Structure 1
């Protein structure tokens, strides 16, 4: 918990009894916004490195980055190759065969766990950066509350609740991807193709125009309203508050994440593009960006379906 900054604090924020390094550490502990944002950035960076390493391992196995999806050939030379690393093992499991009945039960479980790790890393890489404004808003409200002498909870608890929701979403995306693999006979991490890819893109594009998308996006853009109205002073309450924000974020972004099934779940080029789009969408105003993106994706999906049926 934060230490209140009111007049009752005998140190009054100076920590004169500590040396310089001690005062610096104590100051960070009392005002943890920047350390938490740094931790968010570090976590996202680790997730990105893990995903890029997975992509490099898959490209090495396939002999080319082209099977990873559109755009990946452009960065093939920059993909790292780390044989024997955890990322390489997960990548190998994702490519171990087709999903569903074509896999033995033990292999299906291993592939499912590998896909879950991949999707959760993807959520951390793509969604944590877009959650930074929400975490900052919470920390600012908490700092004001602490100044009044109120008990407040460290923002890392809020971030943990947020990530739990995306862990649950990773399970659902894993099941959907394995179902697609069982229907198409493609490797679990391969991009969907033809009519299946077109339908995924049509759904993702159409969702951008719905009232539910707009409602969830509004909540994501204005976290202050929700955080202030539902303020909690216990760790469990703040954890639930983080989960609530995670649900709003999931409602806003699940369709964008679904696009990864069509372009390749290990396509880091599209991951980066969708991360930028999501950040712009959440920090912007109006619905132009949302609808323009939806129209482009839906048109792409319709074109894929038309080409497959021609």
Structure 2
């Protein structure tokens, strides 16, 4: 996949460009369906499949409040690349870009600069200054400028079969701790990433379960509690148990994400790991003493092993 982060990098229009545009937060199954259509149509036309997204999120660039991102920039790029798209335009969004009119965006950027011959876009897509651009405008300008507008149906919610898959729905599931259900919409487990930092050295010495303490990189944090997880490290992939919260038994009111990696003895301080949230096991509990906590962790590890078989 070719990654373009500035329109000035484009020296000539792409051949038979098939384009989709969006924030693609989560790169969930709805987004994947759009990307797949773009790839298929690009192949049929002997052309180029292109996805366009923006950094930072347009709401943030305009100083407006926005929810925590499901996927930050690096993971979003990885996921879009894994879809098989030819080109990803990850363009800077600022107040100047927001002033581009919808007509200018279509004619000067999409058609002249990129060479768009087909656009595949969601039914609610709006764009341009004051967001006056919409599907109707795209179709009207397509007749004038010689491109086709395709608007696929929404991919339906697997639980209700009535609502569409949305980043909002996935975000709520993760924040409510339903990471196993979020997987149905993402097409993969929700993943948090972070750097392993020095902790309070209680896991191994006091509890008998050494932990990797993570400085969280992601914005969207699952509901506090204990989770069965898989862990991607520089030494390979392993099963584990993660605790997210304040470790109430110790009473120091410090937020931590601690991961016990099962049957793992390597030193991974200062390295980055990825933790796939498979299933929530329980709430955080304040125990009367460390022995009770250690016994519960032993049970958590056993349950996680059963889930992760």
Q: More relative contact order in 1 or in 2 (CA 8 Å, sep 6+)?
A: 1
TM-score (norm 2): 0.25
